[in-house]
Amino acid sequence: MIELQKVAHSYGGGELFADVTLALSPGGFFFLTGPSGAGKTTLLKLLYGELSPSAGQVRLFGTPLARMSRDDIAFARRRIGVVHQDCQFLDHLSLAENVALPLTVAGATTAEADADLDELLAWVGLDTRADALPPALSGGERQRAALARAVIMAPDVILADEPTGNLDWDMSLRLLTLLVELNRMGKTILIATHDLALIRAAKSQITARVLRIAGRRLQTAGAEL
Amino acid sequence: MTPSSRSATALPPADRVVPPSGFTARLTGFTSAAMAFLAVFALALSLASGRLADRWQAALAQSATIRISAPPSQIEAQTAAVLAILETTPGVADARALTEAEIAALLAPWLGPDLPLDALPLPRIVEIVETPDGFDANGLRMRLAAEAPGAVLDDHTRWRRPLVAAAERLRLLGLIAIALIGAATAAMITLAAQAALAANAQVIRVLRLVGARDAWIARAFVRRFTRRAFLGAALGTAAGMAAVAALPATDAAGAFLTGLGFAGLHWLWPLVLPPLAALVAWAATRAAALRELRRIT
C-alpha cells in the first residue's frame, strides 16, 4: 500500500534519518515510537506525501511519489486518513462541517455526505456536538472528531500522529478502541506515539508491529513492548 | 442510521471553506467599486467623444461656403456669377447667399449685436448644401477662379479634420483609461488574493491534507474574490451612473461641446462593468492562486 525504500530525510542541513525501509501491508497495525525529535512526524509526512525524501523512494499505492503530480497526490490522500495531535480543524466551520471536509473537497453530494456523517458522528459519540465550533470542543472530542474526519472517505490507511498526546488515559483507551475497531474492519493503522502504555494496551487486543526510530534508523522494537 | 441532530447539511459550500478575511475582501470590494466609478466616467468620456466626432463629421461634411471679397462695384456681379456656377455644378443640392442680417448674426458673438454693417467691408457668403455624393471641390475652385476671382471656396475640410481627429483621440483616451483601470483593478486584486492566500497557508495545508486538489483550493478563493469584485463594481457603477446623471444638462450655449454623459442606449454600456470586473477578478485571482499554491508546499 505505502512503502518506503531506503528513504533518508535531511532537515536544516542535518540528516534526520536514513536507510528507512517500511511497507504498510493491508490490514496491518503498526506503532511508530521513538524519542521526541527523532522524526516520527516527518516519517508520517513522508508516508502521506506531504514531504519528499532526500534519498530513497516512497511509493503510494504502487506509484513512486516522485512520479506523481500534485493531483495524483491529492487523490492518493483521499485513501489515507490522517489524525494529527493538534487535529488541524478550520475553526470557522462546525464540527460536522470539519468532519465532512474530505467529502466536500471530493465533490460528494449532500445526500451522501449527510448519511455518512450522521453514522460516523454517532460512532465516535459526537452526534450531539455536530454544530459546535472546534474551539468549544474538549481535547477528547477534538481527537474523536479528527478520527471521524480521517475515516469519512473510507480510506485504506489511517495514520495518527500522537493522537492521545492531549488526552487522559480513559479517553486515550476510548480512541484506541475506535482505531482497533477500524483495524478489524480491514484498515491499515499506523500510530506514532511515545506512550508505551498505549502500545501495551493495544497489543493486549490485537497483533501490532512496533517500530522505533533510534540512532537515525528505523528498527523493530524489542520484546519489552 | 442515527437521526441527525445537526441544524443543517454538513457540506460547507466551497467558498465558505476559506475563512472570512476582512481586510483582503474589503480591499477587493473597495478597489472594484472605486475603479468601476472611474470607469463609468471614462466610458462616458469615450462615448461622448464618439458622439462629438460623429456630430462634427455630419454637420460639417455636407456643407461648404464661398466667400466673395471684391470691390463694391463688382460684388453683386461676382455673387450672381458664383450662384450661376453653383446651379450647374454636379453635387450641389442647394446654394444661396446669406442675407446681411444672417451675416450680422454670425458675427455678433465676436463683434457684438450693434454691428454697423454699412461701415465694414464685409464679404458676401454663399452657403452650399451638398448632395450625398458631394461636389468636385478642385473643379469648382478652377471655375470660380476663372469667372469670379474674388470667390474663395471653403469646404470646411481644414476645420473638420482636426476637430474630428481631436474627438477621435479623446475617444481613444477614454478607452485607454478603461483598459488602465482594468489593469489596475487586476493588479490590486492579485495583491489582495496573494495576501489572502499567504494568510490562509494553514487552511491550505488542511485542505491538502484531506485531499483537495490545487484547482479546487484556487476555486474556493476565486469564487470569493470574484463575488466581492462583482458586488463592489456594481456599487461603483451605480454611483458613477448616478453621478453622470446628476451632471448639469448641456444648454444651447455649450451645445457645440456636447454633454459628458450617456445618451439613449448608451446608458446600458456601464452595466457591462460589473461582469467585466468579475471577469478580471476571476482571471487575476485564479492566476495568483495557482501561482501561490505552486509556491506553498
Which residue of A90, A94, A153 is in closest CB contact with B19?
A90
Spans of all domains in chain A = 2-79+155-220
The total number of structural domains in chain B stands at 2
Query: Which of B149, B176, B205 is the endpoint of a domain?
Result: B149
Instruction: Check: CB of residue A150 under 8 Å from CB of residue A83.
Output: yes
Q: Is A74 on the interface with B (CB under 8 A)?
A: yes
Adjacent-strand bridge partners of A189: A29, A158
- Determine how β-strand B151-154 pairs with β-strand A188-192: unpaired
Indicate if B187 and B257 belong to the same structural domain. Answer: yes
Quote the cell numbers at residue B194: 496573494
pLDDT of residue A160: 93
% residues pLDDT > 70 (chain B): 89
Rounded Cα distance, A133 and A137, in Å: 7
For residue A82, which residues of chain B lie inside 8 Å, CB to CB?
Answer: 209
pLDDT-based confidence at A16, cuts 50/70/90?
Answer: confident
Indicate if B49 and B144 belong to the same structural domain. Answer: no
Indicate if B279 and B174 belong to the same structural domain. Answer: yes
In CATH terms, the superfamily for domain A2-79+155-220 is: P-loop containing nucleotide triphosphate hydrolases (3.40.50.300)
Query: Which of B120, B149, B178 is the endpoint of a domain?
Result: B149
Distance from CA of B274 to the nearest CA of A (A): 29
Among A65, A209, A81, CA closest to A154: A81
Which residue of A90, A113, A130 is in closest CB contact with B11?
A113
Write the pLDDT tens digit of every residue in B94-139: 899 998 888 888 887 777 777 676 777 788 999 988 887 888 888 9
* In the predicted structure, residue B3 carries a pLDDT above the cut 70: no
Q: Is A77 on the interface with B (CB under 8 A)?
A: yes
- Decide if B38 is inside a domain: yes
Indicate if B53 and B182 belong to the same structural domain. Answer: yes
* In the predicted structure, residue B270 carries a pLDDT above the cut 80: yes
Which residue of A75, A94, A113 is in closest CB contact with B211?
A75
Indicate if B229 and B274 belong to the same structural domain. Answer: yes
pLDDT of residue A78: 93
Indicate if B203 and B248 belong to the same structural domain. Answer: yes
pLDDT-based confidence at B1, cuts 50/70/90?
Answer: very low
Show the domain range for B141.
Answer: 70-149
Write the pLDDT tens digit of every residue in A23-80: 998 999 999 998 888 889 999 999 999 899 999 999 999 999 999 999 999 999 999 9
pLDDT of residue B8: 56
Indicate if B30 and B135 belong to the same structural domain. Answer: no
- Decide if B127 is inside a domain: yes
Among B241, B217, B226, CA closest to B290: B217
Burial B53-86 (b: 16+ CB within 10 A, else e): bebbbeebbeebebebebeeeebeebbebbeebb
ipTM: 0.86
pLDDT of residue B21: 67
- Decide if B9 is inside a domain: no
Query: Which of B87, B118, B149 is the endpoint of a domain?
Result: B149
Write the pLDDT tens digit of every residue in A153-197: 889 999 999 888 877 888 888 889 888 988 999 999 999 998 889
Strand, coil or helix: A216 = coil
- Decide if B154 is inside a domain: no
Burial of A205 (0-12, 13-18, 19+ CB in 10 A): middle
The type of residue at A213 is I
Work out the average pLDDT over B230-249. 91
